[in-house]
Amino acid sequence: MTATVPTPRAGQPNTEADPVGSAWADYVAAARQLDGVRRAAATAAGEQARSVAAAREELAAVREQLAPQQSRLRELGVPAISLVPTPPEVSESARSMAGGPAAVLAALRSARGWAESAEDTLAARGLPRLARWPARPRNLLVYGPLAVLVPLVQLLLFAATGTGPVSIAALVVGLPLPAVAFMAGWLAVGRLFRPHPEDRVDRTPRFGALVCLVPAVLATAGLVLAMFPG
């Protein structure tokens, strides 16, 4: 009997007729799959390395912020035990960071935001709520008392001495004092309402100058009319 070689059907590769080509196709497919896995692993490793580096930077920044805050809180009388996290807090933080470097980085960034918020409160010099007010109402609390101080003294002197050398001297001396009140208010606003030393505070200079000038002008006009009627 004569052996017959089966003929491949249409659409099917002739694996028995070309074993070398079939092996080569399998090799190429496996190589492509391996290369894809290698690239994915390299990308994941790179992202993980970047997350680890960023987490280390965030950790250093948070530690740098917390150390002086801890010292300042101790100076303000906060017990040392209150500045240390409790075991439940540590456990909760550990669970939130169990997702790997990316989760750790996110937690550290949140901690840094809380530290910056605490720094704003501590650096507000006892006026954390006023520092967050709109600029003009907040600054009016500084410019206003300084603006009425000199006119009030002038009016008291006039009421006590009447038209005389003392009242006239107070009137003359008081003329440049609105500028002095404005400069004092300008400096005070910067010191009272500055969250950080490097931050800029809106001192509303035009508004402050107007606040300091109006009471002085009104008081001077009133005293002149009272001293020299008609």
Residues 140 and 119 both lie in one domain: no
pLDDT by residue (tens digit) across 27-42? 777 778 777 777 777 7
Domain assignment of residue 94, given as a range? 21-123
Distance between CA atoms of residues 178 and 208, nearest Å: 10
Q: Are 152 and 158 in contact (CB under 8 A)?
A: no
For the chain, the domain total comes to 2
**Mean pLDDT (whole number) for 87-94:** 74
Whether 5 is covered by a domain: the verdict is no
User: Of 78, 108, 123, which residue constitutes the final position of a domain?
Assistant: 123
Residues 41 and 118 both lie in one domain: yes
Distance between CA atoms of residues 201 and 97, nearest Å: 38
pTM score of the predicted model: 0.45
pLDDT the model gives residue 143: 92
DSSP state, residue 85: -
pLDDT by residue (tens digit) across 56-71? 777 777 777 777 777 7
Cβ-based neighbours of 194, under 8 Å, separated by 6 or more: 123, 131, 201
Whether 116 is covered by a domain: the verdict is yes
pLDDT by residue (tens digit) across 164-204? 777 777 777 777 888 889 999 998 888 887 655 556 788 89
Residues 119 and 25 both lie in one domain: yes
Residues 152 and 71 both lie in one domain: no
φ, ψ of residue 15 in degrees (nearest 5): -70, -35
User: Of 91, 123, 155, which residue constitutes the final position of a domain?
Assistant: 123
User: Of 94, 123, 152, which residue constitutes the final position of a domain?
Assistant: 123
